[in-house]
Amino acid sequence: MTNRAATNTAASENLPPVPEFRSVGVIGAGQMGSGIVHVCALAGYDVRLSDISEEQLDKALANIDRNMARQVGSGKITKDDRAAGLARIKTGTGYDIFGDCDIVIECAVENEEVKRGILKDLCGSVRPDTVIATNTSSISITRLAAVTDRPGRFIGMHFMNPVPVMELIELIRGIATEEETFAAVREMALRLGKTPASAEDFPAFIVNRILLPMINEAVYTLYEGVGSVEAIDTAMKLGARHPMGPLELADFIGLDTCLAVMYVLYDGLADSKYRPCPLLVKYVEAGWVGRKSGRGFYDYSGDTPVPTR
């Protein structure tokens, strides 16, 4: 056994057991964080949601309430389920609300420095046995784990968007992630009604390693004048049976997130095929990042989205 392996083993032996997950913390009240809170609350977990903005927290709660109401209307849950789920959610603007949480899931913007700062600060506010997960869609789990005081209790838990609808969760071990941690998080994924898929800790994991280069190529197709926004999306919906065209999907994901993932792939794999399209860069620089900003490859200011190119 190498010295490094011996050190990791010794550190692991000094950790308390992984707790049974009853309470879940979520950092970030954006679209992904809100969706994770939604499914956790309906699954019976007590949930704590933190964000730096009270306004964003109020917006998140309103969105969760509205989305649960839709589920009641479609018969997927009952009115009692909705009421009980909403009652399990508590919010706050600091990390002190996570003091009793068994697992905390970080859902901040897809920026490594931001995530590292959050994770480092979080460790002092949670119990020694608390598991920490990140919802990153592309960043190294091993690197993020290294800024915490518990690499063995750290894991990637990549939910798909929209969380209440999509069935998959990618589970990604860092180099130090313990098997006990993986098993507990996998069990949680199943309790949420999701299907877990294990991915290795390489840039963008499985889904985005395949999906984002396709979206980037669609932007190149637009950039080079091969087709218009409408033509490209129509071609892929009718010619490849995709439920949503790649440019429409990019707007839904957020062009800033798409660009961030492409940079991770390009920097991490050093392959020119992952070079972000200059047009994607230009849209992000303009603040045209998709649905959340009201404009991307489509303009969403009217009743019907209109292509911007």
What are the two backbone dihedrals, phi and then psi, of residue 188, each rounded to the nearest 5 degrees? Answer: -65, -45
- What pLDDT, in 10s, does the model give residues 225-242? 999 999 999 999 999 999
- What pLDDT, in 10s, does the model give residues 121-158? 999 999 999 999 999 999 999 999 999 999 999 999 99
Active site residue ranges:
137, 158, 170, 208
| CA–CA separation, 244 and 229 (whole Å) | 12
Q: How many domains does the chain have?
A: 2
CATH number of the domain where residue 88 is located: 3.40.50.720
Shared domain for 104 and 26, answered yes or no, is yes
| CA–CA separation, 108 and 144 (whole Å) | 13
Shared domain for 168 and 257, answered yes or no, is no
- Domain end marker among 141, 164, 199: 199
Shared domain for 63 and 106, answered yes or no, is yes
What pLDDT is attached to residue 16? 83
Global pTM value: 0.88
**Number of Cβ atoms within 10 Å of the Cβ of 225:** 7
pLDDT over 90 (residue 294): yes
pLDDT over 60 (residue 58): yes
Using DSSP's 3-state secondary structure scheme, residue 250 falls into helix
Q: Which domain holds residue 280?
A: 208-307
